Amino acid sequence: MAISVYLSTTEPRSGKSLVAVGILELVLKRTSRIGYFRPIIQDAVAGKRDKNIDLILDHFKLRQNYNDSFGLYHQDCADLAAKGKTDTIYDIVIDKYKKLEADCDFMLCEGSDYLGEDRAFEFHLNTAIAKHLNCSILLLGNGEDNTLEEIIHPIDLAIQAYEAQSCRIIGVILNKIKPELTESVQATLRQHYHRHKFFLAVLPYEPLLSWPRLSQIVRKLGAEVLAGEESLHNLVGHYAIMAMHLGNSLEWLTENDTLIITSGDRGDIILGAIQAHQSLHYPRIAGILLTANYRPHPTVLKLLEGLPQCPPILLVETNTYETIHKLENIHSSLTPDDQEKINASIRLLQAHIDPAQVEERLKNLVVKGITPKLFIYNLVQTAKVKKRHIVLPEGQEPRILKAAAALVEQDIVRLTLLGQKEQIQQILYQQQINLDLDRAQVINPAESADLERYAQTLYDLRKAKGMTLDSARDNLTDISYYGTMMVYLGEADGMVSGSVNTTQHTVRPALQIIKTKPGFSLVSSVFFMCLDDRVLVYGDCAVNPDPSAEQLAEIAITSAETAQQFGIDPKVALLSYSSGSSGQGADVEKVRQATQLAKERAPHLSLEGPIQYDAAVDPEVGAQKLPGSSVAGQATVFIFPDLNTGNNTYKAVQRETQAIAIGPILQGLRKPVNDLSRGCTVEDIINTVVITAIQAEGD
């Protein structure tokens, strides 16, 4: 039976989705076998789906379909209750819940929304369902616009109701508390509930989470987009009505992310607002909303069409008063595609909830190996200890800057960005990236005071290969050479590049300057394959096309060392199309020789080869094909015989199992340099930087 928690609120819009995401992130550090269930959801209108279900299923990539994720619609419950068939409601909910629970170690049930008129009936239904499902209760209170007494009173009533049903309460969370009151509210809660054994948490109000996106405003108001369609993801934090002379109107523009509301015939306001948006002396605007269906003059529209970067301009039919009224009734919610808000929700919960307290309440949770969440979590915590210095040569790439912002905010590493500071500042402004450059060094190689010293060092290293001092100087104006020299001289601990440059552009300077470790002849790579319940190491899937037996042995030993460095017990399988001594042929013989060489060079390692993949991962097959092997059926490091096999296999596993593939991680260099895929995501960059920082620990 799964551990189950019922997330229950006392009133609508308390932030259930925020807490649901945060709790599941916490649980995923212990098990990947999670499920999500909503006993009752709002009635489907025009085919619309439940936003919270879509959010959780999409964000956590859960292998359950939408229709299995809820019990009944609200109206169905009301109809059954009116006919005296309340037990039928419970039967349907329990049946659907149990089908999901069968494949899970942890189930999160999310209570209903309390948006209907009969809230008393709805609350009674939730308490009864929680009891029938044998769920522990996590209560969520809403502090927005409420006094402390108004917050605590419904929580007290809920506690009494759940305890009357013999339900176990594991925690109380108060959300949307004014930041300046969080400490006093926390102290009051401790005093008020000092006899209870559940954990208490207070979450401060986070404006970002309540701000709508322009795309949501477009949908809610039925607005026509006249310009700037590519920026409809902009957040709207403030509204400003502009109807006066331009000079007076601009005085009202005091906050970033403001949506300006004006009439379409006010070309002066429209153009003035756009110029203010582009000026460094005014806050950036979210967009411009034109009311009363007044379309700008054709000459103004023509001017807007010629602007390279125009903020979104929307047109609605309603007048200004009606429009403002509609805007005030737009309630933002977490959506699967809004990663910024999802990350903000996770950070908020992690900052204000003690994970040890939650884990104490869920201590019976089954642990099945190291999960991807736990693996990445452990990496980040390890990297934070020494805060290594990583150089990012592609400092003018937006994805790099977004990753840098996250790394700096979480205080994981120290960073140097290469590029022109003015251009980086402009990109940060245009992309709305909140990176504090006071916390990240920026160097322009061409203007660096260290250029001459670096050039002399490169010349000394490469003059035997025909390099002149002038060519060394020219090379070091290149970001990859400059970043590599920083690492070589110990002025950075590692380098990550390749989001816009080729692998050759990233790796060649490292081979020329840093070179391989003593006793190693080549650079190879591994991928960390984060499966549902474990993390495996695949090598080499990115660098060496057709390694010899000697090189394959070296890759096996280096990959085992990499696995061990990252907390994975290395049991190394050298793969082939045959297991043991049964197969013949040049390819299998190469693997057999490589295994023997690796065992001679590293007798302490658990190695097996040649071995087929099924025998390496399946205990029953392994016992049949290689009885007595310490690797068969339990391999953690997989060495592929060539790049063709390795690259195709890792991509197939990644696609078919939805595994997270972190890499390629380069190994064999004296100091860490890692290459990104040009299609990498911001998360890929963050993970690679963290791994590079940990690799530097072994220097």
Residue 36 burial (CB count, 10 A) = 23
Token pair for 285: 């605007």
Residue 696 burial (CB count, 10 A) = 20
CB–CB of 290/263 below 8 Å? yes
- 590-634 pLDDT, tens digit per residue, is 999 999 999 999 999 999 989 999 999 999 999 999 998 999 999
In 3D space, the residue among 486, 358, 482, 360 whose CA is nearest the CA of residue 414 turns out to be 486
Residues of the chain with CATH 3.40.50.10950: 372-513
CB–CB of 379/371 below 8 Å? no
CB–CB of 651/657 below 8 Å? no
- 101-160 pLDDT, tens digit per residue, is 888 889 999 998 766 556 777 888 888 888 888 888 999 988 887 788 888 888 899 898
CATH class of 372-513: alpha beta
Residue 285 burial (CB count, 10 A) = 24
Contacts of residue 574, Cβ cutoff 8 Å, sequence gap at least 6: 552, 556, 591, 594, 595, 598, 607, 608, 609, 610, 611, 639, 641
> Left, alpha or beta for 47 (phi > 0: left; psi -120 to 50: alpha)?
left
Q: Which SS3 state, helix, strand or coil, does residue 276 take?
A: helix
Residue 188 burial (CB count, 10 A) = 18
Helix (H) or strand (E) holding 72, with range, is strand 70-73
Token pair for 464: 């035997």
pLDDT of residue 152: 87
Residues of the chain with CATH 3.40.50.10750: 525-666
CB–CB of 619/633 below 8 Å? yes
pLDDT of residue 367: 46
In 3D space, the residue among 592, 596, 587 whose CA is nearest the CA of residue 644 turns out to be 587
pLDDT of residue 45: 67
Token pair for 153: 């009173």
Domain 3-207+342-361 falls under CATH 3.20.20.70: no
Give the chain's residues under pLDDT 70. 1, 45-47, 114-118, 363-371, 374, 698-699
DSSP labels, 95-132? HHHHHHHTT-SEEEEE-----SS-HHHHHHHHHHHHHH
DSSP labels, 318-381? S-HHHHHHHHHT------TT-HHHHHHHHHHHHHHS-HHHHHHHTTT----S--HHHHHHHHHH
Fold of the domain spanning 212-328: 3.40.1390
What is the C-alpha separation between 14 and 233, in angstroms, rounded? 24
Residue type, 535: V
DSSP conformational letter for 179: G
Cβ-based burial of 351 (10 A; exposed 0-12, middle 13-18, buried ≥19): exposed
What is the C-alpha separation between 54 and 340, in angstroms, rounded? 17
- 199-233 pLDDT, tens digit per residue, is 899 999 988 888 999 999 999 999 999 988 888 99
What is the C-alpha separation between 699 and 694, in angstroms, rounded? 10
Q: ω before 641 within 30° of 0 (cis)?
A: no
| Own/partner pairs, 264-270, CB within 8 angstroms, 24+ separation | 264/290, 264/291, 264/292, 264/293, 264/294, 264/295, 264/296, 264/315, 265/294, 265/296, 265/297, 266/242, 267/296, 267/297, 267/300, 269/242, 269/243, 270/296, 270/300, 270/304, 270/313
| Own/partner pairs, 518-523, CB within 8 angstroms, 24+ separation | 520/554, 520/558, 520/668, 521/550, 521/551, 521/554, 522/547, 522/551, 522/554, 522/555, 522/668, 523/666, 523/667, 523/668, 523/669
pLDDT of residue 124: 86
pLDDT of residue 105: 87
Domain 525-666 falls under CATH 3.40.50.10750: yes
In 3D space, the residue among 299, 496, 329, 314 whose CA is nearest the CA of residue 415 turns out to be 496
pLDDT of residue 366: 46
Residue 644 burial (CB count, 10 A) = 12
Phi and psi (nearest 5°) for 575?
-85, 145
Predicted structure pTM score: 0.70
Contacts of residue 47, Cβ cutoff 8 Å, sequence gap at least 6: none
Token pair for 586: 């040049």
Q: Tell the residue number behind the tokens 């860490």, with chain if given.
A: 672
Adjacency order of strands within the sheet including 285-291: 224-227, 313-315, 285-291, 258-263, 238-241
DSSP conformational letter for 517: P
Q: Are strands 70-73 and 34-41 parallel, antiparallel or unpaired?
A: parallel
Token pair for 438: 């006071």
Percent helix, strand and coil across the chain, each to the nearest 5: 45, 20, 35
Residues of the chain with CATH 3.40.50.300: 3-207+342-361
Q: For the chain, how far is it from start to end, CA to CA, in angstroms?
A: 46
pLDDT of residue 353: 85
What is the C-alpha separation between 56 and 345, in angstroms, rounded? 13
What is the C-alpha separation between 530 and 423, in angstroms, rounded? 37
